[in-house]
Amino acid sequence: MPIFPVPRTPCGARAKAMGGRRVVSYGRFYEDFEVGSVLDHHWGRTITQAEGQLFATWTMNASPLYFNEVYARAQGHPTTPIHPLLVMNVVFGLSVEDLSEQALAHLGYWRMRFPKPVYPGDTLLSRSEVLDKRLSDSKDDRGIVHVRTSGTNQHGDEVLSYERKILVKKRAAYPVLDKAPGSAAVASGSGKHGG
């Protein structure tokens, strides 16, 4: 299956024409998604013990599994695992630039599985496959993209998988701005997006 880079709007030469400000557009429009394509999301993210314990504390999680090392070891873990919702948020966050920078809405998540725990020091990586896409039935300026995202650790073990649908802008209806956001005019389109 083909792997595609993130489309980026060239901006260097336009900076002078826009008063020194550069406008950069990230992400894929509806037309850029191809069913069957696989997107390896960049960077990866190492999770620390402090982040895991702070997440459990900040979200008022009452399970000692995520903040009490003695308890976690008694349950068969080598140390406190990272809370699955933090894992989900990191894996999801790694996918945003590729999948939903041009999203109008997230339409739901399902089939979420956490097959293996994540521990402090693990590095999470994210990858998505485009399962399906279709035009919106109600508005012609958007379409719905269905993806499966998986998160793996540094060893290649899957630690998370889920599916989601994203309501994504069509490029023709949302032209790239030739002026910085908030400026008086938009050169490459009417600026009207039919929300």
Residue-wise pLDDT tens digits, 1-28? 444 455 554 444 444 444 555 555 678 9
Instruction: Quote the percentage of the chain above a pLDDT of 90.
Output: 72
The mean pLDDT value of the chain amounts to 85
Average pLDDT over residues 138-165: 97
Average pLDDT over residues 86-96: 96
pTM, full prediction: 0.78
Q: What is the enclosing helix (H) or strand (E) of 139?
A: none
Alpha helices (H) along 14-125: 49-58, 69-74, 84-99
Q: What is the pLDDT of residue 62?
A: 87
User: Quick one: angle between helices 84-99 and 49-58, nearest 10?
Assistant: 100
Are 160 and 114 spatial neighbours (Cβ–Cβ below 8 Å)? yes
Q: Considering only CA atoms, which of 95, 85, 147, 154 is closest in space to residue 124?
A: 154
pLDDT level of residue 181 (50, 70, 90 thresholds): low
Burial label for 128, CB within 10 Å (0-12, 13-18, 19+), is buried
Q: What is the pLDDT of residue 5?
A: 52
Q: What is the pLDDT of residue 21?
A: 54
List C-alpha distances in Å: 170 to 58, 141, 173: 38, 5, 6
End-to-end CA distance of the chain: 34
Burial label for 127, CB within 10 Å (0-12, 13-18, 19+), is buried
Question: What 8-state DSSP symbol labels residue 164?
Answer: E
Are 148 and 131 spatial neighbours (Cβ–Cβ below 8 Å)? yes
Q: What is the pLDDT of residue 2?
A: 47
- For the stretch 128-150, pLDDT in tens is 999 999 999 999 999 999 999 99
- For the stretch 105-123, pLDDT in tens is 999 999 999 999 999 999 9
- For the stretch 36-84, pLDDT in tens is 999 999 889 999 999 999 999 999 988 999 999 999 999 999 999 999 9
Question: What 8-state DSSP symbol labels residue 191?
Answer: S
Q: Considering only CA atoms, which of 141, 31, 130, 44 is closest in space to residue 93?
A: 44
How many residues are given for the chain? 195
Cα separation, 194 vs 184, in Å, equals 19
Cα separation, 28 vs 168, in Å, equals 8
